[in-house]
Amino acid sequence: MFSHISHNFKASTTFVIERASSLDCLEETFAELSTSFTTFQQNFQCIKQVHESLKEFNKAFSGFLYGIKMNAHCVEFPEAPTKETFASFIQRRDAELLTPTPISKIKTPTPISKIKAPTPLPPKKKKINKALLIKKLIKKIADSLPSKYRDQHQNRKNVELILRLLCDNPAEGKYLQDIVKCTELPRGRCIEYLNVLINAEHIVKLSHKGILYKLIQ
């Protein structure tokens, strides 16, 4: 008998433990549900505040509209000139025409002899851009050279460099040693480019305390 009671007690205890453990699984879910309901309630409180604000705005705006409506009924505002307006304007104009002008305010015409003729402005001098003129001259000379010195990039660049030196002081010219020193080109190359320019009749070669090259102006 005692064994039977012990067996029943053990079975009932096991059932209670299993039931408790199954409810423990739902504890986290119920906690999340509680949090969601709390958030839901807070959102409804925000919606309630918005509703109250709209209600106050509607009251104020309805009062504003009612005031405009009452003003339209009480104040007469014609949107065009009336007969009284025209009559007032004509009366004011006639009064101005009948009022004599004081002699002191009448302007005496200035004699023609005292009228000064406007001084003519001196013509504006156009600024000459020397650098631009030199650039155009160098391009014109380079374009007139043979194709070897006109189309090949390096040869054209060297010729333009020599021409730029000669354009710095065209009246005095440049000595051969100065051209070689400034351009840093071999002496033979410089003589070759200078001879091409001489043959094209753009520069002249002079003997004056050395070999001097000058640009033909």
The pLDDT value given to residue 177: 86
Q: What are the domain boundaries of the chain?
A: 2-56, 130-215
| pLDDT the model gives residue 44 | 92
Topology of the domain covering 130-215: Arc Repressor Mutant, subunit A (1.10.10)
pTM: 0.41
Question: Using CA atoms, how far apart are residues 93 and 99, in angstroms rounded to an integer?
Answer: 10
Among 30-44, 74-88, 189-203, the least confident range: 74-88
Cα diameter, the chain: 154
Q: Which residue has the tokens 């304007």?
A: 89
Per-residue model confidence as pLDDT tens digits over 87-141: 888 888 888 887 766 555 555 666 655 566 667 666 666 666 778 888 888 888 8
Residue among 195, 169, 165, 202 at smallest CA distance from 181? 165
In terms of pLDDT, which residue wins out, 111 or 144? 144
Q: What is the mean pLDDT of residues 22-28?
A: 73
- Give me the pLDDT at residue 107, please: 59
Tokens of 153: 């990039």
Closest CA to 176 of 152, 206, 197, 139: 206
Is residue 211 classed exposed, middle or buried when 0-12, 13-18 and 19+ CB atoms within 10 A define those classes?
middle
